[in-house]
Chains A and B, each alone.
Chain A
């Protein structure tokens, strides 16, 4: 679209607002992706594809109309613009001149997957398989996979915003199944980043797979998880999912404005002690949930949600920001051109504290060390959550005593913030995919080792 791109987008916006409307936007996406999966020691799937399309959004009052097309010609875009303005029959609204902008923040790609070929990737997967199987005779299955996505985005709106972003994300995943005497357990690890194949140097697939294998083997000896109220130590990185689910979702402005969040109308209130500072940071260079601009063209930002225990912030997209009278925080994200943007987290971090992780474990007489969460569920209106622990250990007299299985953490977002008694300095990130309203988005959860004073642990041993 190069030379005429600006004209094409202007023209589309004009069509979108030709019968009235408050605001219009065009979102063009060209996506290239590939994936390789090894299982059973064999390269089972190699998948690659191109997915391109454009979505046109017209806002009238509180109403958003949206239409998208896979046909990126003037006719295709005009048809989408006409579909998006359906039902309007007023006079045309103005479209500001587009002024091209490029994001201030960029995330470097050292080895571009598009040009590097699949050789290194396949070597990595094969190494992961071999090294994981060396971890012990208990290893029954290794699934190693690699995916890369490049998204080239163009966003233009009737206020004159005209910005592009180029995002490359790659992720490697190792999933190991171990078995002994009929008992089966699994281990999983999946680092990813916004960048290129250099991920495989930073996180060598063999090391990642070996870690997943040793988790799976360790959990074969797991005893039933005790049920009751105990102190809980959260492992660095993975524990961040608790913050994401139980605090983050409740601070997304779409939920706040519908009075559907436990944090609604509670800005300025204290939820945790001085050691609790939580940010959502799309500017973290190379992090999995980062970008240059969000999917509405708003520059990536670092937003403080809790400042030393006090609720001071929220996350918003353009629409929810307008409703609450704040500038948008750059959290408008969409799965693809086929989706309306909604408020999403990016990289959500509990900032590190001064404590020594080993000291934190030593301070627990009887409690749970939560190594890996398998995911969870939260009710944003109440903050209540349940998280399964796929890797956990029982702590006895300050020592990690033995692995436990079948345990869940049951609690409440505000309660967790209030229960944070110590935060260590060993910050770690964990990459994941967050689902909301049927849309998926890459997100990072980050935290150091954390001590929660008391939590309800659901288990099978009463």
Chain B
């Protein structure tokens, strides 16, 4: 790459003509991914992708184009496509580019690891093989490790705009996952777990292997339980999935467009009084952190639910202008091929001061949910319906007991929120469809449909 990403971003902005304003968002990364099977590399992929997303604003209309051709001719063409796109858009008074920074937004501590480059491709292969070996050797009931993999990426992002924003940040990400299949008699169970961090050395291989294996083995011999109402404990994984579902309904845009169960509830009680929901775009070691959002607005922490009361929605610039408030720094992009849209950054419930063990003890006799099935189909953030399959374990007298499967748990999401009685101190980030911090949640009572 002969020119820096920042220079290319400025080059694009310089192509604005007439009353146009241009925003250019570019990314460049170095990615590697290794998958192993039965002690050998199954696949090893590497790449250095880059691309540009270009937004042109003209008289209240925004058009967007993207390209992987970063030659001057390629950029010319993309600008032309974005310009043409503006012709078809319905104009409005809310679409604006971010105002210039008063001062450069603070860096996020630890967003990129200094030791990232010291990890060799060989180290990565060895790590994945070791992960597979660890998972395969933990329990004789593990029939096969269907998948074990490691991937990481070094990514730089640059943003420039006609309003004078010019910035760049670098992040590093490392990820590993393992899928274990356990068999006993006629029963077969599959389980997945993962870890994420800023570099290979921050991943706890043994923990991932043992977690996936104990999930798979732990459900062997599981049965349905009789239908009824009982306290539910979500583990950090399923709790994070639950937050992921409600998170999409907490943007100002979802409310404005009639796509949110939280519409019209600002200032009202939407959760138990002990519940505080935070979206923090600057959370340390969280996957959704960045110094500024996808429009260049500095990120921050927003209290969305404060002691059970809905206190704020999450905004990008456009949805904020529509509600006559300020952006909360929640513009997000799925990469250079997508324009900015509001979304949670890192969303989590503030811990209520109890450990997992204390929560289990308090739950007494309950159902501990370790896996949801069919969240995408059974949970609807527009209607608030939540009805999903679940597997996990019975809790008896505060202690984990027999495994359970093939049951359904169901309740309106607002009922679930109003019954969360405790949030554990075991926060864990899930990077699926955003970044959501799960922890052990105690839900006072829900309907479980079993046998």
Contacts and interface: CB of A to CB of B under 8 A. Distances in A.
Contact of A259 (B144, B261, B337, B383): B144
B410 A460 contact: yes
A43 B89 contact: yes
A118 B87 CA distance: 10
A48 B77 CA distance: 11
A258 B144 contact: yes
Contacts of B40: 61-63
Interface in B62-97: 63-70, 74, 77-78, 81-82, 84-86, 88-90, 92
Nearest to A437: B147
Contact of A260 (B44, B51, B181, B410): B181
A408 B388 contact: yes
A375 B66 CA distance: 30
Given A186-B383, A382-B188, A410 B77 contact: no
B99 interface: no
Contacts of B90: 42-44
A184 interface: yes
Q: Which of A52, A227, A380, A406 has the most CB of B within 10 A?
A: A406
Interface in B33-55: 37, 40-51
B59 interface: no
Given A46-B63, A177-B258, A258-B37, A70 B50 contact: yes
Interface in A280-297: none
B97 to A, nearest CB: 16
A179 interface: yes
Contact of B43 (A64, A86, A374): A64
Contacts of A70: 49-51, 68-70
A116 B388 CA distance: 44
Contacts of A87: 121
Contacts of A380: 190
B15 interface: no
A66 interface: yes
Contacts of A52: 68-69
A141 B69 CA distance: 37
A184 B143 CA distance: 46
A338 B181 contact: no
B46 A66 contact: yes
A215 to B, nearest CB: 13
Contacts of A161: none
A36 B64 CA distance: 11
B389 A48 contact: no
B408 interface: yes
Interface stretch (A352-360, A383-391, A415-423): A383-391
In which size bucket is the chain A interface? 35 or more
B259 interface: yes
A27 B401 CA distance: 52
Interface in A7-65: 36, 39-40, 42-53, 61-65
Interface in B142-181: 143-144, 146, 181
A374 B381 CA distance: 13
B406 A43 contact: no
Interface in B334-368: 337-339
A277 to B, nearest CB: 27
B13 to A, nearest CB: 18
A351 interface: no
Q: Which of A40, A140, A386 has the most CB of B within 10 A?
A: A386
Contact of A179 (B64, B65, B190, B258): B258
Interface residues of B, number: 70
A168 to B, nearest CB: 18
Interface string B365-385: 000000001111110101111
Contacts of B47: 67-69, 83, 338
Contacts of B373: 377, 385-386
Contact of A65 (B44, B81, B143, B146): B44
Contacts of A44: 89-90
A458 interface: yes
A381 interface: yes
A164 interface: no
A379 B180 CA distance: 12
Nearest to B38: A62
Given A44-B90, A375-B374, A456-B406, A186 B188 contact: no
A197 B374 CA distance: 34
A443 interface: no
B449 A69 contact: no
Contacts of B258: 140-141, 177, 179
Contact of B377 (A61, A376, A382): A376
Contacts of A83: 46-47
Given A141-B258, A186-B380, A259-B143, 4 more contacts: A63-B44, A65-B45, A375-B374, A377-B377
Which 10 pairs show the lowest CB-CB distances between chains A and B?
A388-B377, A458-B408, A386-B389, A374-B377, A49-B66, A42-B90, A46-B85, A141-B258, A375-B377, A386-B374
6 contacts: A42-B90, A66-B46, A70-B51, A384-B406, A390-B380, A460-B410
Interface of B: 37, 40-51, 63-70, 74, 77-78, 81-82, 84-86, 88-90, 92, 121, 143-144, 146, 181, 188-190, 227, 256-259, 261, 337-339, 373-378, 380, 382-385, 387-389, 406-408, 410, 447, 449
Interface of A: 36, 39-40, 42-53, 61-70, 83-84, 86-87, 118, 122, 140-141, 143, 177, 179, 183-186, 227, 258-260, 262, 338, 340, 373-377, 379-382, 384-388, 390, 405-408, 410, 456, 458-460, 462
